[in-house]
């Protein structure tokens, strides 16, 4: 009799509503996985929207940075009025007598402006190019025969030569003994090149623009 009761008791326990409910609903692991999947699906749209928002913001910041860099570059390339003023300088040469040289400053450097005599012009034009270390005709160095405009810097080591001096009555650099003629061409000494001719033009008979 006790065995029957035990069997009936086991049968009743196995068929109780609680056991049937647990079997039909599934395990705890199943519910945990299902809950994670549902949450993941519900937030995927929001995640995509947030990702697109961040990407759009990054692109906007990048485009703004490129635009600012381009504006700064263009601004740096555009010369200001002050820079343009320093790039050129106007000089009145009406008071410079024939045979005299004045020294002016352009871009912080000395410039020699010489009013040449007819004899000096003839002398400069009569020099053979074969006799020159840095061959250059006088006509290639002047715009007006009576006027010579050259940088006042020795081409040897950058000293400032003395005007109306030297063996050729042009310029003499006492630092190392370079002699230039009345066309500013090197004739003797260690300097390798002629005195440089800066960009210039005559605005009228008395006004000279350098630069």
Distances (CA, A) of 29 to 25, 33, 35, 36, 173: 11, 6, 10, 11, 100
- Helix locations, 26-151, DSSP H: 28-77, 81-87, 118-125
Tell me the torsion sign for CA atoms 135, 138, 141, 147: positive
The verdict on whether 9 is a catalytic residue reads no
Q: Half-sphere exposure of residue 70, counting CA atoms within 13 Å on the CB side?
A: 6
Q: Choose the catalytic residue: 9, 115, 156, 176.
A: 176
Distance CA 171, CA 12 (A): 130
Closest to 111 measured CA to CA, from 156, 163, 146: 163
Query: Where in the sequence numbering do the catalytic residues fall?
Result: 176
């Amino acid at each position: 009799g006790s065995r029957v009761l035990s069997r009936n008791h086991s049968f009743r326990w196995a068929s109780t509503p609680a056991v049937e409910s647990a079997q039909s609903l599934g395990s705890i692991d199943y519910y945990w996985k299902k809950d994670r999947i549902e949450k993941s699906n519900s937030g995927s749209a929001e995640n995509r929207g947030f990702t697109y928002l961040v990407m759009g913001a990054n692109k906007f910041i990048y485009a703004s940075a490129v635009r600012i860099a381009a504006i700064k570059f263009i601004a740096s390339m555009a010369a200001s009025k002050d820079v343009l003023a320093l790039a050129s300088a106007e000089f009145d040469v009406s008071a410079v007598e024939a045979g005299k040289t004045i020294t002016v400053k352009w871009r912080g450097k000395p410039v020699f402006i010489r009013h040449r005599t007819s004899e000096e012009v003839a002398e400069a034009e009569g020099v053979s190019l074969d006799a020159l270390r840095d061959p250059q005709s006088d006509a290639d160095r002047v715009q007006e025969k009576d006027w010579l405009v050259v940088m006042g810097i020795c081409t040897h080591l950058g000293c400032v030569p003395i005007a109306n001096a030297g063996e050729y009555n042009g310029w003499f650099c006492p630092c190392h003994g370079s002699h230039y003629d009345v066309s500013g061409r090197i004739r003797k000494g260690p300097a390798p090149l002629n005195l440089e001719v800066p960009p210039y033009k005559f605005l009228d008979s008395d006004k000279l623009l350098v630069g």
